[in-house]
Structure 1
Amino acid sequence: MLRDDQVKVLWMSRIDYEKNTGVKSHYHDDLYQFLFIIDGKGSIQLGDTVFELLPNHAYFIPKRTEHSFFFSNASSTIDIKFDILSPAVEKFFIAESETIPSIIGDSQKLKDLFKLSVMNLQHAHPLIPYRIDVGFKDILLSIIQEKTMVKENNSRSLYALKQEFQPDFPVIDYLSENLTSPITLQDISNHFNFHPHYIIELFRKNLGTTPMKLLQELRIEKSKEYLEFSTSTITEIAELVGLSAPYFSRLFHTREGISPTDYREQARTVVGKHILLEEEFSHSLKNQPLIYKDLL
């Protein structure tokens, strides 16, 4: 099987914790852990230090480090066990992992990795684990680079990094950032100071679609993320993507062939499952810590 020769993801899971639950103190001899908080609140103890668990933050847990979690609110997480095979990358990681937690400004890449792991669980393909390795390595190195730049410049550079990778078609950014608003073609035209016909032609040439069709696609894609990774109701999700609940349900069913409720139920079937990406890690599953309830 093709795997990355610097960073290897061994295991991944989407785990939801109930209020006042957590994992008691334990450690891992031969692997690193990456805990990402989708939503919720709690605390994590690493050695003798306690950090607050916050949404959109990642927590790195080095090898042989005693750690425990406690969630004071219902919380959703993505948990990744991995190993670093490159001494050079490991050196950077160890140096920067002490300055936790790390805010993840764009969590979509991480959620996409989880979707890839689910795809591999359902329809295994030899390239998927490699894609996960490379994708996770990119996230890992981006965080390390950001922390290094913060140390050197004494200022955050998230905006600069975002600009570096910004798409060349800014209309997509405008639509993505205004999904909750009832955007019209005239709104797009006014914002970019272009004639509506020019906007339509621009979309046709660059994307092979119309602005309004793309807006619908963006809204559906964003709603799928809410359905998979949030506890918001269907009505709340419809509002978050700028649609009425009845229209949202009809549009979703037309495009996906399934209702939003049924889509959520299908997505939730993988919550809490062990997604193995390396067979050699299977023997370690018996050592996975249990979730304990009512820790107060």
Structure 2
Amino acid sequence: MLKPEKQLARLRNVMANLQAHLSLAAYTKVNTKWRQMNYIPDFNRFYYICEGEGCLIIDGRTYYPQPGQLFIMPAGVEQSFFPISEHTFGKYWCHFTAKIGDLNLFQLLGLPHYIEVRDRAGLVGLFEQLIRHYESDRFTAYMMQKSVLLEIISLFVEASLQDKYEWKPLNGDERMGKIHTVLKYIDQHLHENITVQEMAGLLHFHPNYFIRHFHEIVGTSPIQYVQQLKIDRAKALLSATDQPVSDIARSLGMEPYYFSRLFKKHTGLAPSDYRVLFYPIV
């Protein structure tokens, strides 16, 4: 089994294809009739508890949230919620989707169901922005919603991976396990000209089926994924070494002319111009 740090390195590349969409956002002081039992939603919920008492049951685990805790109730997981006293929850909340391909981000990463928020005022500010953009009819409102939502998701993921919680990567997803075989192969052969046929052969898939399968899970085509990794590796080499551009190209399994054309297509700069901007002059 891959070590968590190895999985994180590969998932970091896959995370570039995260798609998030907000459907509802608000602050609510719930009443004593607030209740839903044994429900499996097709969307995620964030609950940021500001005051009060209540119970959440998520995937068979029972929680009594405290003020300052941010809970995720993931899509596709059985959940229940209800009050336990007259002193009910006051909470910021939102409903949203967050997917990489057709996989839910939170099930994919196997994160804990809550974090202790260190910067409470900062998170309240983010939720206030999210609600304001959700209620806005401005032309750019959707983009602003997505920007703030991604910031809240990032906060949750970052805190989960850095804190004391036990990370259970991939949650045993069989499809992602197969794709990790391919991602590992790409990492180990990035210096070569990797073909779709080679990658498909690792899983004994027809190339056309493999392309669809890869895109459904990763959110991009296998060739686009490989190209992006090569460009990222090239950026690191250009900004940290004085290795000739032609040598960098060949170390990534590409002819210099094609490499320069692909690099400019992805970054808007020729490799030599990128180096002038980012290579430290000693």
When normalised by structure 2's length, the TM-score is 0.45
Q: TM-score, normalised by structure 1?
A: 0.43
Higher RCO structure (Cα 8 Å, ≥6 apart): 1
> Larger Cα Rg: Structure 1 or Structure 2?
2
